[in-house]
A and B are shown apart, each in its own frame.
Chain A
C-alpha cells in the first residue's frame, strides 16, 4: 500500500498529462464535427476584437492591390455590358423587357458586406474570420464571395464575428460545373498550393479544355448558379480512366482578401430537409 502511494505521489503528473491530452483531443474532435459554439475559435469576442484591430491597420497595406483588382473587375464588367448591349440591339429588344434574372446570377439575392479580419492560407484547414456575425444576419451555411468569386462557406457564427471555411480547406466541397456545358463535379482543395483546386467527377466524355470557366452549379442553395470560381488550368485522366481530374486555377486571390459579401439566401427548409433525409439514407 505504501509503495502504491509512493508511486502515485511520484508519478502524479502523468494523471494530469492524460487529463490535459484528453481535454485537447475532445476539443479537436468537437471542432471537426459540425455545429458547436464559436468559443474556441478566432470568432470569439476577444480574439475577434484583436484580429479586427490588426486588420484595421494592415488593410491599408493592401489598398493599392485591392484598387487594382476592383478596377480590373470593373473593366471586365463594362466590356461585358457593352457586348450584351450590342447583342440586344442585334436581337432588337430593349433592355427593359429582358428579365434581369437571365443576365445576372445574383438577381434577387441579398448580400451582407463584411471585412476579412483574419485569413489563413498555408495551413491544411484554412479558415477566414469576418467582422460580421449572427447579429448582422449571418447564419451558418451561407456562401461567401469576394471580388474574384467564391471564397467559402460560413462555418460558425458568434454575435459579432463569423468563421468561414475557406475554399482552401480540405473539408471544403463546392458543387460546380463547367460553364457552357452541363457537366458538373465537386471542387476540392489539396494542401500545398493556394492557387489551385481540383474538380472531381467530370465524366471523360465531357468536353472541357484549358481556359474554360468553372462556375457554381446552383444545385445546393448555398451559392446561386453561375458564380465564378476559376478557370481550367490542366485536364488529366483519373486513375480508373472513367473521369477527368480537372485542375482549376482559382479566380479569387486568397492572399489578398479584404472585402467579401455573404449571400443572405433564405434557405427553403423543404430542399434542405429532403437532402438531409437522402443523406441519412445513404449513411445506412
Chain B
C-alpha cells in the first residue's frame, strides 16, 4: 500500500517536472498549454477515500501554482476535479462492471477511458480558465484556450498512458 503511494508520488514528481520545465515553456498557437499533471489524479487507486483524493488534488495543484506564479488557481481547479472524479467515473462506467479497476486504456477499454479522461480534463481546464477570466474576460480567447488546451492535454495523456502500459508488459 505504502509502496503504491510512493510510486504515485514519484509519478507526480515526474509529471510536475515535465509540466514545469517543458510544457509550460511551449505555447502552441499562443493559446494552448497542455496540462498533464492531472494524470496522477486519475491513476490513484479507485478505492481511495474521497478525503485523500481531495488532498491529492489540492497539493498537486499547489505545487504547479508555485512554479507558475498563480497561487491558488491550479489548487482550486484540481480540488474541484478531485471532488467530481468519482462522479465522472460512475457516469461512464458500463453497467454491471466491476468498480475497482485502475484507470487506464487497457484496464478500462479505450472508449470508457477516453470519455473519462476527456471529461476530467475539460472540467479542470474549465474551472482553471474560468477563475482566470475573473481578472480578464474575453469570451473568444477563453473558448480558444479551453478548446485547444483540452485537446492537446487529452492527446498527450492518452499517449503517456499507452506508453506506460507497454513498458509494464515488457
Binding site for B on A (CB under 8 A): 12-13, 16-17, 20-21, 23-32, 40-42, 44, 46-47, 50-51, 54, 118, 120-125, 127, 129, 163, 170, 191-194
Contacts and interface: CB of A to CB of B under 8 A. Distances in A.
A42 B30 contact: no
Nearest to A15: B51
20 contacts: A13-B49, A13-B51, A13-B83, A16-B51, A16-B55, A17-B54, A17-B83, A20-B79, A24-B73, A27-B71, A28-B73, A31-B69, A41-B71, A42-B66, A44-B66, A122-B33, A125-B69, A191-B138, A191-B141, A193-B30
Given A26-B72, A31-B71, A124 B136 contact: yes
Interface residues on B, range: 35 or more
B46 to A, nearest CB: 16
A266 to B, nearest CB: 28
B164 interface: no
Contact of B69 (A16, A21, A127): A127
Contact of A122 (B30, B61, B75): B30
Contact of B68 (A20, A21, A28, A42): A42
Given A16-B51, A24-B72, A122-B30, A192 B141 contact: yes
Contacts of A47: 66-67
A28 B141 CA distance: 22
B142 to A, nearest CB: 10
A46 B20 CA distance: 13
A30 B71 contact: yes
A123 B68 contact: yes
B27 A121 contact: yes
B47 interface: no
A120 B58 contact: no
Interface of B: 20-21, 24, 27, 30-31, 33, 49-51, 54-55, 57-58, 61-62, 65-73, 75-76, 79-80, 83, 131-132, 135-136, 138, 141
Contacts of B50: 13
B57 to A, nearest CB: 8
Contacts of B24: 120
A98 to B, nearest CB: 44
- Pick from B24, B49, B54 the residue with the most CB of A within 10 Å: B54
B144 to A, nearest CB: 9
A31 B75 CA distance: 14
A193 B62 CA distance: 27
Contacts of A118: 67
B71 A17 contact: no
A122 to B, nearest CB: 4
Contacts of A121: 27
A45 to B, nearest CB: 11
